[in-house]
A and B are shown apart, each in its own frame.
Chain A
Amino acid sequence: NAGVMQNPRHLVRRRGQEARLRCSPMKGHSHVYWYRQLPEEGLKFMVYLQKENIIDESGMPKERFSAEFPKEGPSILRIQQVVRGDSAAYFCASSSGGYNTEAFFGQGTRLTVV
């Protein structure tokens, strides 16, 4: 029973490049969440998606960040024109339901912008 799978585990990008982070939810889960963990800070909600739908993107920066969860394939968090401040650990979580249900996290993608 595979857990939440994220790749890549580590990603290095130069300023101005694009970063694509992928997440496959746990089997049987159709709710996906992205969280960001900055150094010395707590986990912060970014976006909640179900298949082909963005339910809540209130935690996403207004520019350069986008997310999708297509009918087929993994969820993608895309960061365009990365800046040094985007360096962080990005975690994906999934759950079987959207409300008060347990969310399980993937191993994360550690993005470093140089």
Chain B
Amino acid sequence: QKEVEQNSGPLSVPEGAIASLNCTYSDRGSQSFFWYRQYSGKSPELIMSIYSNGDKEDGRFTAQLNKASQYVSLLIRDSQPSDSATYLCAVPNSGGSNYKLTFGKGTLLTVNP
């Protein structure tokens, strides 16, 4: 059973702060990792993908991957109230079924003005 674990939160940060979202996964063979943002009542929106160990930056978002520790994180710099949403970590299965995403239950982030 592939597992993806996230802190459910809620995580509350003041506007302008750095929000740090964490995710661990059980499948050692996973090769790619995705972060989705989901506003309440809306669909998941892909915001970051990362494939190699280290950091990947895109605007205010930085994804960090450590395959040895089976850990992936998402940092949001200069957090804005519009960043308030649930953030979902998604990991494809390894092997022949790596089209199948296993999602964490998500971390609810609230950015306070």
Contact = CB atoms under 8 A, between A and B. Distances in A.
Given A33-B99, A42-B104, A43-B88, A102 B43 contact: no
A104 B34 CA distance: 11
Contact of A56 (B46, B99, B103, B104): B99
A91 B90 CA distance: 15
A105 B46 CA distance: 8
A65 interface: no
B32 A100 contact: yes
B44 A100 contact: no
Contact of A99 (B45, B99, B106): B99
A106 B102 CA distance: 18
A109 B32 CA distance: 27
A114 interface: no
B99 A31 contact: yes
A105 B100 contact: no
Interface size class of A (residues with CB under 8 A): 20 to 34
Interface residues of B, number: 24
B49 A102 contact: yes
Residue with the highest number of chain A CB atoms closer than 10 Å, among B43, B90, B97, B100? B43
Contacts of B43: 91, 105-108
B31 interface: yes
Contacts of B45: 105
A102 B50 CA distance: 10
B42 interface: yes
A108 B43 CA distance: 6
16 contacts: A33-B101, A35-B101, A42-B88, A42-B105, A42-B106, A43-B103, A45-B102, A48-B99, A56-B99, A99-B99, A100-B32, A102-B46, A103-B34, A105-B44, A107-B42, A107-B43
Interface of B: 31-32, 34, 36, 42-46, 49, 51, 88, 90, 92, 97-106
The 3 closest A-B pairs by CB, nearest first: A43-B103, A42-B105, A98-B99
